[in-house]
Amino acid sequence: MAEADALEITRLLQGWRKGDEQCLEQLWELVYRRLSRLAASYLQNERVGHTLETGALVNEVFLRLTQQNQVRWQDRAHFFALAASMMRRILVDHARRSQASKRGNGMQTICLHELHELGRSDHPDLVRLDEALLDLEAEDPSLANLVVMRYFGGLTRGEIAEALATSTTTVARQWRTARAWLYAYLAESSPP
């Protein structure tokens, strides 16, 4: 990773935090390319039984993109929030492609969903979850955001509170609501 990129991402993060939406777009461009390339290789190489280390993945991107010590706390939180939404997109796309190819030619690719079923069965179908999230986003973007950060980004309550400039109790309360909402939605295929 060129140093210029690292400096650039630091600048963009700061700009974004100050509310410059253009910075976010550029940041997205810059990070997403790398993240998706990395994720693709992870998803390809991960063998059955291995877990996908989102945290490790994001960290890796972050490490490559920034000079860590020059990025402030809040910027980091924002970065991870951003990365979480990228992960959502990458993982959902991956799941969608896997399902399509399974339906199509029956090739033995392993979709993320299956991957997790090997270990745990409490993960929903990612494609359906994504649809639910889109509707939740329309209802209440902050709730959807929270879910993305928590579920796709693996952020802790503290980290989310930091990124959203709110308290951990608020995060906890909203999380419960969002989870119930999504569960109800998926159970009956309609928003509650």
Q: What is the dihedral of CA 20, 80, 124, 143, to 10 degrees?
A: -50
Between 21 and 106, whose beta carbon lies closer to other proteins?
Answer: 21
Between 9 and 153, whose beta carbon lies closer to other proteins?
Answer: 153
Between 37 and 191, whose beta carbon lies closer to other proteins?
Answer: 191
Q: How far is the CB of 3 from other proteins (least distance, A)?
A: 18
Binding site for other proteins (CB under 8 A): 51-56, 58-59, 62, 68-69, 73, 76-77, 80-82, 85, 87-89, 91, 116, 120, 122-124, 130-131, 133-135, 137-141, 143, 145, 147-148, 150-159, 162, 173, 176-177, 179-184, 187-188, 191-192
Beta-carbon neighbour count of residue 29 at 10 Å?
A: 10
Q: How far is the CB of 11 from other proteins (least distance, A)?
A: 19
Q: How far is the CB of 145 from other proteins (least distance, A)?
A: 5
SS (H, E, C) 114-133: HHHHHHCCCCCCHHHHHHHH
Between 73 and 106, whose beta carbon lies closer to other proteins?
Answer: 73
Which structure tokens are listed for 41? 């290789």
Alpha-carbon distance of 51 to 95, in angstroms, equals 15
Between 5 and 63, whose beta carbon lies closer to other proteins?
Answer: 63
Dihedral sign from CA coordinates of 11, 162, 137, 18:
negative
Which structure tokens are listed for 117? 């079923």
Give the helix/strand (H/E) hosting 112: helix 112-119
Q: How far is the CB of 58 from other proteins (least distance, A)?
A: 7
Coil, helix or strand at residue 105: coil
Q: How far is the CB of 53 from other proteins (least distance, A)?
A: 6
